[in-house]
Every structure is written in C-alpha cells, then in structure tokens.
A = this chain, B = another copy of it.
C-alpha cells in the first residue's frame, strides 16, 4: 500500500477508484488531519480496509464490492487460483461487513461477468460507480424538492427563510461513488441558496461526522456546526432544526431503516418535534428479502472503539464496552425515503414493498 498527496479537487474527489490492477481508497481513518490514498493489491488487504473503515458508506461499498471481484480476479491470475478458490475469495469480500446490503449487492452485480474476463468485470464495476453518481444527483434533487415543498419554504429569491438541517454520520462523497446521498440533498439545498446551516452530529465512536462530514462541508463552503450526538434531541426540540437528513445501510420491505448507531434517536426527536425525518439512499439499499428490521443482523464492533480515544484508554481497564455499529429506525418514524426514482412517505404508509413489488425484488441480479 502506498500513499499519495491530495491531488484532487472537491468535485473529482473519489473515495473508491480502480487503479488498473488494484483498488485505490482514500484512507478515511486519518481524515481530516491527513489526506492519504491507499493502493490495495489483494483480497485480504481489501477486507481489512473495509473492516477498519478505510472505506465505508453503503453506496461506496457497492463500488467496493464490484472492484473487489476484479481485484480477486487479478490476484487469482497471479497466484494461480482455481475457480473454486476464486469464488471463495469473492464470497469473503461479499461478507466483509454484515449489515450494509450494498457490498453484497455490488459483488452480486458483477459476479455473473467473471467468466467473460477482467475487462468486462471492471467495466461493470465502473458502471456501478458511475450510476451511483447519477443516482445521487437525482436523490439530491428529489430530496431538496420534497423538503422545500414539505416545510412550506418557497424559492429563496422570493424571500423564504433558508432551511436548517441536522445530519448524522457521513453520507457525502466519502460514503458514495460521488456527490453523496444525504449530503447530496444538503448540497442541492445549498446550491439553490436554500440552506442556512447544518448541525453535524459528531457520530461516535468513530466520528464520521466531525472527521468526515465536517471536512466535506468545509471543502464545499457549507456553513455548519459540530455537536455531540446526544445534543441532537435538544437541538431539534428547541426548534433549531427544520429537517433531519440521514443515509441508510439497509432498508426493509416495510420501510424500517438500518443506519449508523444514533439515527434512531434523531428519528424519535423529529417525531416528537413534528419535523420530517428524511432518509436518502439509492434503491440498491432496499433489501426486499428482509420484511422488518428484526431480520437485520446488527454488526457488533470492537469494544475498544468505545473504551479508547486514540491511544488513551478512557474507561477503567476492568470495564467492558458494548458497540453496535447500527440501529434500526422503524418505518413509522421515517417521514420520507428519498431515492433516485422519487420519494416514499413511509410513515404515511408508502412502503418499499408496495413501491417495488415484483419489479424490484431481483434488481441486483437483473442489473
């Protein structure tokens, strides 16, 4: 693995890229202090990077899944793996993180092309990334349209007050192939002159909010303040926020949403305050094989992420930690699910199952 300087501007920054015979990842574990790329040359390295959250974010993991299959093929050729071994290695990539559906979705989409050779696989993986960018821009437009209509704010040029948004975790360029999902909605609002400020939850334990989202917002010149996660309910109930916008790692047929731990608390506060709780995600995040959130495996991560800050142990050595990476927000608290194809008002009864029945059930294999 080698590093590189920050040679990219805000617009062409990529969290994930294909390097010809390796996967190139922006190392999100060292942001915002350092901007460093890692060149990942084998499956073990890719799985390690995914688990350490060098790259994270559901849509970005879709692209990683696609490129991961290509990487396994490169390694198979060099190491002389047979087909059975290659398929086992692809299975390992597919299972590197259990909750995010997109990683498996990306693998499953390119896997049928393995018999046609590396160029066909790489082309399909690049298509995943390209389509994700197109989808995210549509999510941004759909989300901004819905939010401005819902909260009754007209065009800013006619004097409407700009919107105050709260977000949790990171759903921007760093979480996607490009543009962002939840942060794409925020960028779209900003681009229309309709955004006042973003409250950024720091997103413990790994601080994707303060480290990554704040870094992206700084690059984009978007006004924001960082707060501890537990401040969100108070900020919302004191009337300082008009809408919360988050992403999703998996969305069930009933509209339950698995996302970064802490999303549920934001949703409860939005319901209490009567403001919209908006989930922005590509349709690839919808998993119709899961009916409700009870069927979603919640990834338990290393307790040390909670018990340490950097090198310093903050809890007594004898104390144990509990570190679920995700929570599940029930459909009744999801005001709007924004995808590239439109908006479902989930808490009002528009479920993904109704919207996508039949047509969507096999989208991963159909693609």
Contact = CB atoms under 8 A, between A and B. Distances in A.
Interface of A: 32-33, 168, 199-205, 207, 210-211, 214-215, 217-218, 224-235, 237, 261-262, 264-265, 268-269, 272, 306-307, 309-310, 312-316, 318-324, 327-328
Given A199-B322, A225-B319, 11 more contacts: A201-B230, A202-B314, A204-B229, A224-B320, A226-B322, A229-B230, A231-B262, A231-B327, A232-B265, A234-B324, A264-B269
A347 to B, nearest CB: 14
B218 A318 contact: yes
Given A269-B268, A316-B218, A319-B210, A228 B262 contact: yes
A166 B76 CA distance: 50
17 contacts: A33-B312, A168-B230, A202-B204, A204-B230, A207-B314, A210-B319, A224-B319, A225-B320, A226-B307, A226-B320, A228-B323, A229-B230, A230-B230, A230-B265, A231-B261, A234-B264, A309-B309
Contacts of A228: 204-205, 229, 261-262, 306, 323
A309 B214 CA distance: 16
Nearest to A272: B268
Contact of A310 (B168, B265, B310): B310
A128 to B, nearest CB: 30
Contacts of A211: 314-315
Interface of A, helix, strand, loop or mixed by DSSP: mixed
Contacts of A320: 224-226
A310 B309 contact: yes
Contacts of A229: 204, 228-230, 262
A215 B261 contact: no
A268 B306 CA distance: 23
A233 B327 CA distance: 9
A233 B265 contact: yes
| 3 nearest A-B residue pairs (beta carbon) | A230-B262, A234-B327, A229-B230
A272 B230 CA distance: 17
A174 to B, nearest CB: 13
Contact of A315 (B210, B237, B272): B210
A53 B337 CA distance: 43
Nearest to A230: B262
Contacts of A205: 228
Nearest to A209: B315
A321 to B, nearest CB: 5
